[in-house]
C-alpha cells in the first residue's frame, strides 16, 4: 500500500514529476535477488526473491532512512546507493556484518547544496553523476567521498515561470573507433524542459577519466527535444542512448551524430521508468502498463511499428 506523502515532500515530488504526478513508487534498484524500493512514506524497503517460488519476501525497511524521502536508488556488487531529497548521497555496504536493514552508518557520504533529482553510476570508470534541483550536473568518484570531481550547468530552455533543472543524467559509452580523437564517454543530461544535451569527457591514455581536466569540447544539444520532462535515460550499448519523457514517448539516439533513429509512442500521459539491454527495452507509464519491446523476435509483416504483441504488454501489479 502506498503511504501518504510526507508533510514536507510536496515540493520535492513536484520537482520530480511536475504537474503529472501519478503517485506510486519513487525509485527501485535490484541486483541478483535483492530489490530495494523507496515510496512516498519515506525510507527504503528491502525485498528478496524466493528462488523456490519466485515470490518476493519482505526483509524490512532501513532504520537509518526512516522518514527520509529518497529520490533515486542504485545497487552494485558492493553498495546500496541512496540519493535523498535533502541533498545527501550515501553508499551503504552490502558486505557489513549487519543485515542491510539494520545498517545505520553509510560507508560513503556526499552533501550537495540542493535536492538530488537523479543519480547514476558507471563502475567501468569508477564515476557517478548527480543532478540537483539547482540545475547543476556533478561528477563524483565512487571511491572517494565528500567532494565532486567537477560540475557544469547545462543551457536549459527558458519556459518562463518554471523551475528548470536537470531531471536525469547518465554516463554514456561511445562506439569503439580506431581514431585517437574519439571520446569514449560523455555525460547525457535530460532536463525537465525536455532538452537533451551531451557533455564529452576527457580520458587519459589508460582509459580513465582525466580528473584534472575532465571536460573536453563543447556541449552538444540533441534535437528535436521532447515536449515534456525527460525522466529516464539509458545507454544499453556503446553508441546508443535512449530517452523517455513525460510526453509519453521514448526515443533511440545515435550518440555519434546526435540523431534520433526512431521513436516509440503510446503511453497516455508519461513514462515513469526505463530499463534496456542490447535486445530489449522495458518501460512503465502512468496507465499502469509495462511494455516490453523485444528486438530478438521476428517482425510480423502485417503489424505496424507501434503495435504490440499480447506478450509484450502487461498490466502492472497494483
Strands 230-234 and 220-222 turn out to be unpaired
Both 306 and 161 in one domain: the answer is: yes
Q: Which residue has the cell 505496424?
A: 304
Both 142 and 243 in one domain: the answer is: yes
In this prediction, residue 311 carries a pLDDT of 40
> At 304, which CATH number?
2.130.10.10
Last residue of a domain, one of 85, 111, 137: 111
Both 38 and 167 in one domain: the answer is: no
Cα distance between residue 194 and residue 154, in whole Å: 12
In this prediction, residue 268 carries a pLDDT of 63
In this prediction, residue 301 carries a pLDDT of 53
In this prediction, residue 1 carries a pLDDT of 34
pLDDT digits (tens), the chain, 318 positions: 344 455 477 888 888 887 767 777 888 898 888 999 998 889 999 999 888 877 889 999 999 999 899 999 999 999 999 999 999 999 999 988 888 888 999 999 999 999 999 999 998 888 999 999 998 999 999 888 888 888 988 877 655 556 788 999 999 988 866 455 555 889 999 998 899 999 998 887 777 788 788 888 788 899 888 888 898 899 988 899 999 888 888 899 999 888 899 888 766 666 777 888 888 888 876 666 777 888 876 655 554 444 434 344 333 322
Give the C-alpha distances (Å, rounded to integers) separating 217 from 127, 136, 201.
20, 18, 8
Both 125 and 241 in one domain: the answer is: yes
User: Using an 8 Å Cβ cutoff, are 265 and 306 in contact?
Assistant: yes
In this prediction, residue 307 carries a pLDDT of 46
The alpha carbon of residue 86 and the mean position of all alpha carbons in its chain are separated, in whole angstroms, by 18
In this prediction, residue 154 carries a pLDDT of 86
Give the C-alpha distances (Å, rounded to integers) separating 267 from 17, 186, 231, 272.
16, 29, 14, 10
Last residue of a domain, one of 111, 139, 169: 111
Rounded CA Rg of the chain: 19
Last residue of a domain, one of 51, 81, 111: 111
Both 163 and 277 in one domain: the answer is: yes
In this prediction, residue 316 carries a pLDDT of 35
Both 37 and 87 in one domain: the answer is: yes
Q: Could you tell me the residue range of the domain that residue 71 belongs to? A: 1-111
User: pTM for the complete prediction?
Assistant: 0.83
Longest dimension (CA), the chain: 57
SS3 per-residue string spanning the chain: CCCCCCCCCHHHHHHHHCCCCCCCCCEEEEECCEEEEECCCCCCEEEEEECCCCEEEEEEECHHHCCCCEEEEEECCCEEEEEECCCEEEEEECCCCCCHHHCCCCCEEEECCCCEEEEEEECCCCEEEEEECCCCEEEEECCCCCCEEEEECCCCCCCCCCCCCEEEEEEEECCCCCCCCCCCEEEEEEECCCCEEEEEECECCCCCECCCCCECCCCEEECCCCCCCEEEEECCCCCEEEEEECCCEEEEEEHHHCEEEEEEECCCCCEEEEEECCCEEEEEECCCEEEEEECCCCCCCCCCCCCCCHHHEEECCC
Amino acid at each position: 500500500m502506498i503511504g501518504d506523502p510526507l508533510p514536507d515532500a510536496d515540493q520535492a515530488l513536484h520537482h520530480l514529476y511536475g504537474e503529472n504526478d501519478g503517485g506510486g513508487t519513487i525509485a527501485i534498484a535490484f541486483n541478483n535477488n535483492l530489490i530495494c524500493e523507496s515510496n512516498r512514506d519515506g525510507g527504503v524497503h528491502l525485498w528478496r526473491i524466493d528462488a523456490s517460488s519466485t515470490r518476493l519476501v519482505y526483509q524490512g525497511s532501513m532504520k537509518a532512512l526512516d522518514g527520509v524521502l529518497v529520490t533515486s536508488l542504485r545497487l552494485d556488487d558492493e553498495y546500496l546507493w541512496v540519493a535523498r531529497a535533502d541533498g545527501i548521497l550515501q553508499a551503504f555496504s552490502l558486505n557489513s556484518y549487519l543485515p542491510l536493514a539494520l545498517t545505520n552508518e553509510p560507508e560513503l557520504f556526499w552533501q550537495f547544496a540542493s535536492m538530488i533529482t537523479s543519480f547514476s553510476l558507471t563502475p567501468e570508470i569508477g564515476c557517478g553523476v548527480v543532478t540537483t534541483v539547482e540545475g547543476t550536473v556533478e561528477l563524483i568518484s565512487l571511491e572517494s567521498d565528500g567532494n565532486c570531481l567537477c560540475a557544469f550547468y547545462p543551457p536549459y530552455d527558458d519556459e518562463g515561470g518554471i523551475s528548470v533543472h536537470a531531471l536525469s543524467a547518465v554516463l554514456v559509452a561511445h562506439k569503439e573507433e580506431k581514431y585517437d580523437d574519439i571520446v569514449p564517454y560523455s555525460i547525457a543530461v535530460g532536463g525537465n524542459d525536455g532538452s537533451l544535451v551531451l557533455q564529452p569527457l576527457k580520458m587519459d591514455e589508460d582509459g580513465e577519466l582525466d580528473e584534472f581536466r575532465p571536460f573536453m569540447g563543447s556541449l552538444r544539444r540533441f534535437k528535436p527535444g521532447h515536449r515534456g520532462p525527460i525522466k529516464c535515460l539509458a545507454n544499453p550499448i556503446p553508441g546508443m542512448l535512449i530517452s523517455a519523457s513525460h510526453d509519453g514517448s521514448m526515443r533511440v539516439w545515435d550518440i555519434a551524430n546526435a540523431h534520433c533513429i526512431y521513436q516509440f509512442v503510446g503511453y497516455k500521459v508519461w513514462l515513469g521508468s526505463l530499463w534496456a539491454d542490447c535486445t530489449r527495452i522495458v518501460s512503465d507509464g502512468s496507465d499502469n502498463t509495462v511494455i516490453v519491446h523485444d528486438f530478438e523476435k521476428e517482425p510480423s509483416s502485417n503489424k505496424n511499428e507501434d503495435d504490440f504483441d499480447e506478450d509484450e504488454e502487461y498490466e502492472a501489479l497494483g
